[in-house]
Each structure stands twice: as C-alpha cells, then as structure tokens.
Chains A and B, each alone.
Chain A
Amino acid sequence: MGKTFAEKIMAAKSGRRAVSASDIVTVKPDFVMSHDNSAAISKTFRGIGVDRVVCPEKVVIILDHCVPAASDKYANNHKVVREFVAEMGIENFFDINAGICHQVLPEQGFACPGELILGSDSHTTTYGAFGAFAAGIGRSEAAAIWATGELWLRVPETHRIEIGGRLPAGVTAKDVILSIIGQLGADGVLYKAVEFTGSAIDEMSLAGRMVLANMTVEMGGKIGYMTPNEETLTFVRSRSSRDFDVVTSDPDAEYERVIRYAAADFVPTLSCPHTVDNTAPVTDKAGTPFHQAVLGTCTNGRLEDLGLAARILKGRRISRRVRLLVFPASQEVYRDAMRQGILADLAEAGAVIMNSGCGPCLGAHEGVLADGEVCLSTANRNFKGRMGNPNSEVYLASPATVAASVLTGLITDPREFFQGGGR
C-alpha cells in the first residue's frame, strides 16, 4: 500500500522510515509562524524555563492582526514583540509594513513544497497551496517549538477532493470552496488532510489555490494541499533559494474518502449568517441589502482578486448606501495594485483603500459593524460577533460578487459582468 502526502511528510519530519494515519509523531517543523500573538507566546515561552529560542532561524513573525496599533494595549503588545525578536536574534520578523501573514510568508520564500510549516493561526492551512504540510497550532504550542524545535502531531487520514473541468465565467475558487464547505459541513473533514486534485485544480491560479487551502480549515481540515503546478513552482523559485522536493501521494495511497465535483456545476455562492457552512447560491439571496463590504483579507486580498473587482468597478460608482473597504493582502500586493492602476479604479469608484492587514475581519478595528448592520465580505469567517459586534450579520462571497453587489448595495449575481468569457 502506498503512502499519502501527509504520511510521507510526517515520516520525513519525524525522522522515521514510515508512518501511517493515526500514528502520533514528534516532528521538527521547517518554520513556525506567529503574528501579533507573538507577545503572548513570548510570555508563555519565558514560563518554560529556557533562556533562548532554540531555532531562531525557523521562527517567522509577521505583525498583521491589528496594524497599525488601534490602542495603547495593541501598541504595547507590538512593542513586546519587537523587543523579543531583537533579544532572541529572530531575523525573520516583519513589522506593520509587510502585510497579512498568510500572504507575506510565501512572498518572503518561507513556503516551499514538501516543507512542514506550523503556525499559531488557524488559516496556516493556506501554505498547502505550495505543496507544504501546513497546519494551525495554539500559542502554547508555538512557545513549545521555540523552546524545543519540535511538537507532537497526529498523522491525519486523507480525503481527496477531485474537481474536473472548467469553472464557468464569473465563478471563482471562493465559490468552489464555499459550496464544498456548505455540502460537507463545518466538520465535514474534521482532523483530516484534504488533497485537492483534478484538471480544474491543475489549471487554477496560485491565488485561487490559496483560497481553497486557506478555507479548508472552515470544514475542519488539518491541512488542505495540492501538488504545485507550474505557476506555483515558478513563484516558489522566484522567492526562495532553498532546495525542495515536491512530495505527492502514491498512486495506490489509501484515501479515507474521495469526493468528485464537476467544475461546470459551481455557481456564485454565499455563506449566510452566522456559519460558513450555511451556504446558498447568490441567486437565492439576490436583492438582500447590506451596509458595508470588505474586499481583501488573507482569503481574497491578492492582486487577482483586486483586479477582478476593479474590472467590474472601473468607471462606475458604488451605491451611496454602502461603504466598501479594500484590504490588499500584503504591501507588495498594494504596491503592485497601485502600479497597475487597480487601486485608482477602486478608489475612484468610491472604495476606501486601507493598509494591508487583517482589518475588521476579526473585529479588532478598521471597520467594526454597528448594531443591525450587514456586511458582505470576501473573508473566511462569518461567525456571530466575528466583525466585532454580535448584533450584526456577515455574508461571505467572492470578490466578483462583492464588486457586483456594491454597485447597487444589494447582493447581486456577478455573472452578468462576465458575459462573453473571462474568469
């Protein structure tokens, strides 16, 4: 019996010849990522009784959750992080001018195929798009890796999601993953490795692949990975000089489940309040009014996403009834979008262009909702209170749906903007 991707990586990183699903192994990750929570992690680390971070070269810290600081508490938090990285000689530190961790980490070359990346953020799964084994962990676990260089993991069973064919015009990776989460449920792949395969995945852009991997955790997945395609390998080689091996599942590997979809069947999809798996086709909710829209975040703040929205909004004005906030996923994306005129198009349409960061996604600042307000967001979570107010509602959608909808202030099917092709 062959081995899955997950089994191969877990064996390699635990120094064992072979492991199987359900084994518990102690692994040495290639990188451990944390963000603003590094202040709390540093306090926990100091409680362990170790003087130095054992592997400073493996530690990647990116400030993104509340940048620039929204209050003295956040400011002091950032200060603790800056002092800690200086004291410990952590070179891979990115201050508030870098962007969202899940975009910055790959941009800076820390996500190569076949590597093991653990991060104290649930959307660490994003790096599965690069063929890495990437999973979220807790803060104490990040502290433990700083102190010991290792952590225990359970080798997950693998579910394969195969998507064949081509997506219809106006339908994006976001619609695909929301739809799959709706069908499988919030615990549909609980504790499992998810492997995305099929011709639609082979042809999908890197930005789209990152959306699938990012949101795999929203159906309970431990990792969501795919074999890197040529665009992905070109990106990785342009960002990192490390040697890497592309690791793939054996043809006779054991999958716990194989689920097949036809790309042509996907339609623009929403997650309705208050859970990600509460999905509906956009057409079912068309005409629903909202107050604020968010374009960006670690899910959909890449150049491709902003460009798609700009194509719809260029030369038009958003409704006076809504506010549109744009959060590029990184400052690099911000600069590229600026050079390409994308930000100008969005701003001229009436959008507020924010700095790169998590913004209001987790309810800390920069666009918290008022009582009774509804937000249409390209983010990955819509739980009650997520955007800072339990008396508000959040719908999740693709950048195309958000762009089409802000023109009227009513949820709108974006496909009418894609007649005559284009994706």
Chain B
Amino acid sequence: MSTIKGKVWKYGDDINTDVIFPGKYTYTVSDPAELARHAMEDLDPDFAGKVQKGDVVVAGTNFGCGSSREQAASCLVAAGVGAVIAKSFSRIFFRNAINWGLPALQCPAAVDALQAGQAVTVDLERGCIEAGGQSWKFPELPAEVQGILTSGGLIPYLRAKYQKNA
C-alpha cells in the first residue's frame, strides 16, 4: 500500500463523474468486476480493458466534478488504479477516494511532467512521486485523512474502531 507502481493514464481538466462512471449504472451495478468494466466508459473506452493493477490516473484541475456518486472512486479501485494525481480535486470526489482507500494526491508539477504510458512510482510514506529520474513532493494529507487512508477506507476504519471498542 505504501508504494504504488504502474503506468500513467493521463487526462485533462474537469473530468466529471458522468464520464468516469455513467449515471445510468449507479443503481444497477455494484459488483466490483462490473464496476471496473464501466470505469471511464464515456471518457476513454480503452481504459477498462487495458488498465493494470497499480496504474495511476493523472489529470488536471477539478478531477471528479459533478455527482456525489461514490462509484467514480470505487470503480477506479475495482479497476486496480493505485492512485490519482491531479492539479486539484472536486471536493466530494476527494472524500470518496479517501473513503475507498484510494490516494488522491494534489501535485500540479507532477501532472505537467508525467506523460501517458510512462512508468511512475508513488511513495506514500515519503510523500513523493517519481518518474523518469524526476521526483516531486506532494503535500501531506491531514492526520484524520491519513488514518482513514491507511485503514483502507472509511468503512474498514470504522469497523476496526468498533471492534476495538467491543
């Protein structure tokens, strides 16, 4: 979990939740394998068939804008995406990603430099992104957010908390 290695899938600004996970599936699709099959369906039809575990989605500003649908994050997790790096995130997508244990990292310099298909490594403990001999630091996430992320998401975090208290 602390180190993510994969290749870059690069997209532009304002990637919205309707193209990440179409609304027509939001109440009928819940199986992870099926979620994964529809990931990025209306943005990049090649994505779902070719993405591999540990790959990293790289995008511009306001990634995940639009609906609160959590599947925009969970379909990426189901598809094997290890992290999303963006110039900025839509607020609800950011929360959903953290709540699904998907690191959502804000790092504009890395976004500008990273190329589609390039091999990239994300080191969550050291707080840095490495690719092609270059390295970028990303800002530390707040402690509350870190706790949820390292537990693998909000639900595992709460489950552990209740088991501890029981």
Contacts and interface: CB of A to CB of B under 8 A. Distances in A.
Interface in B11-28: 13-14, 16-19, 22-24, 26-28
Interface stretch (A199-207, A377-385, A404-412): A377-385
A190 B62 contact: yes
A308 interface: no
A138 B62 CA distance: 17
B14 A186 contact: yes
Contacts of B90: 187, 190, 220
A187 B155 contact: no
B14 A140 contact: no
A137 B95 contact: yes
A63 to B, nearest CB: 11
Interface stretch (B2-10, B66-74, B112-120, B129-137): B66-74
5 smallest A-B Cβ distances: which pairs? A187-B62, A362-B23, A383-B18, A138-B96, A385-B42
Contacts, number: 136
Contacts of B42: 384-385, 390
Interface of B: 13-14, 16-19, 22-24, 26-28, 30, 41-42, 61-62, 65-68, 70, 73, 88, 90-92, 95-96, 99-100, 142, 144-145, 153-155, 158-159, 162-163, 166
Contacts of B153: 140
A23 to B, nearest CB: 10
Overall SS of chain A's interface: loop
Given A122-B92, A275-B14, A385-B22, A48 B27 contact: no
Nearest to A26: B144
B18 A384 contact: yes
Contacts of B17: 383
B26 to A, nearest CB: 7
Interface stretch (A143-151, A250-258, A415-423): A143-151
A388 B24 contact: yes
Contacts of A244: none
A65 interface: yes
A381 B14 CA distance: 13
